[in-house]
Chains A and B, each alone.
Chain A
C-alpha cells in the first residue's frame, strides 16, 4: 500500500527552493511518517545534488564543442572512406566477373547456369565447368569476405 500524504508536493517545493520546512509545515512533517521519510530522502539527495553540481569538474563548453566537432568530422570522413572502398570493391568484383565470363566463354556460363537445375545428374553437370570459370569463382569467393571486412570495419 502506498502511504502518501497530500502535502508531499508542498514539502518538495520547499526543498526545491533550498529551504527546510518551517512553522506549520514543520509540525506536520514531524507528525507525518510519509512526509518525514520524504524529508529524509529528498532532503539528502537534494543537498547532495547541490554540492555535486557546485563542484562538478566539467570541461569548458568551448573545449567540448571543439572535440565534438572534430570527432564528428573524423567520423564523417571514415564513413565516406568506407563508402568509397565499398564502391571500389564492388567495381573490382564486377570487372572480375566480366573477365571470368570472357575467359570461360559465354557457352560455359550458359552451361554453368544449366547445372543449377538440380534435376541433372552430377556427372552430366560437371562437364560444363571450365578451369578458368572455377578459378575465377574460387578467387571471388575467397577474396570477397576479406575485402568486405576491410571495407566496412572501422579502424
Chain B
C-alpha cells in the first residue's frame, strides 16, 4: 500500500503558529488510530535514512512522544503526518550529528528465521534491496531523505520542502541530482567507496 502525503497551501509553520494559540492534547483514541496508520511508514523512513534499525526503533518512540507533546493542533491528517515526518527528520539528523553516527548498510528485513523461506523463494528481490541499501549508504543524508519522501512516501515537492527545511523551488533540482546519483550507484556506474 502506498502512503500518500497529499498537500495543500497551508504550511506547517501556519499550523505551528495556530497551534501556539490553542494547545489541545491528543486523546488516546485519536493518537492510537494515527499511530496505527503511520508508525510503519515512519519506522521505514527512520530505518532507511539512518541505516540503523535499532536506532529507528528508539527514534520512532521519541518521535511520537514529541508529536504528542505538540498537542493535537493539526488541521487534518495530512498536516499531522507532515508534522510527524518533520519531527522524525530532525530527530534523525540530531542523533546522527551528536553520535557522529556512521550510516551502515541495513540488512534486509528477511534476515530473521521466519523470513528465510521468503529469502530463498525471492532471492533476487532480497539481493536487490541489499544493493539499494548499499547504494543509499553512499548518498548524503539529505539525498536519502529526499528520495525516500518522494518515492516511498509519495510526498509532493512542497511537502518535502517543509519536512526537510528546504525551498520548494530547489526540490526539483536536488531530487534530480539525488536520483541521478542513486541510479548511477545502482547501475554500478559510480564506484562504491
Contacts and interface: CB of A to CB of B under 8 A. Distances in A.
A18 B148 CA distance: 16
Interface in B6-64: 28, 31-33, 35-36, 39-41, 43-44, 47-48, 53, 57, 60-61, 64
Interface stretch (B74-82, B84-92, B94-102, B174-182): B174-182
A61 B179 contact: no
B2 A67 contact: no
B interface bracket (residues with beta carbon within 8 Å of A): 35 or more
Interface residues of A, number: 36
A112 interface: no
Given A48-B132, A56-B43, A58-B40, A16 B2 contact: yes
Contacts of A52: 43-44, 47-48, 109
Contacts of A118: none
B151 A57 contact: no
A37 to B, nearest CB: 4
Contacts of A15: 151
Contacts of B179: 37-38, 41
Interface string A24-48: 0000000000000110111011111
A121 interface: no
Contacts of A53: 3, 40-41, 43-44
Contacts of A71: 65
Contacts of A48: 48, 129, 132-133, 152
Nearest to A49: B152
B17 to A, nearest CB: 23
Contact of A44 (B2, B28, B69, B186): B186
Interface of B: 1-4, 28, 31-33, 35-36, 39-41, 43-44, 47-48, 53, 57, 60-61, 64-65, 68-69, 108-110, 115, 125, 128-129, 131-133, 147-148, 150-154, 172-173, 176, 179-180, 182-183, 186-187
20 contacts: A2-B173, A4-B176, A15-B151, A16-B154, A37-B179, A41-B147, A42-B150, A42-B151, A45-B148, A48-B132, A49-B152, A50-B1, A51-B125, A52-B48, A55-B110, A61-B31, A64-B64, A65-B31, A68-B31, A68-B65
Interface of A: 2, 4, 12, 15-18, 37-38, 40-42, 44-59, 61-62, 64-65, 67-68, 71-72
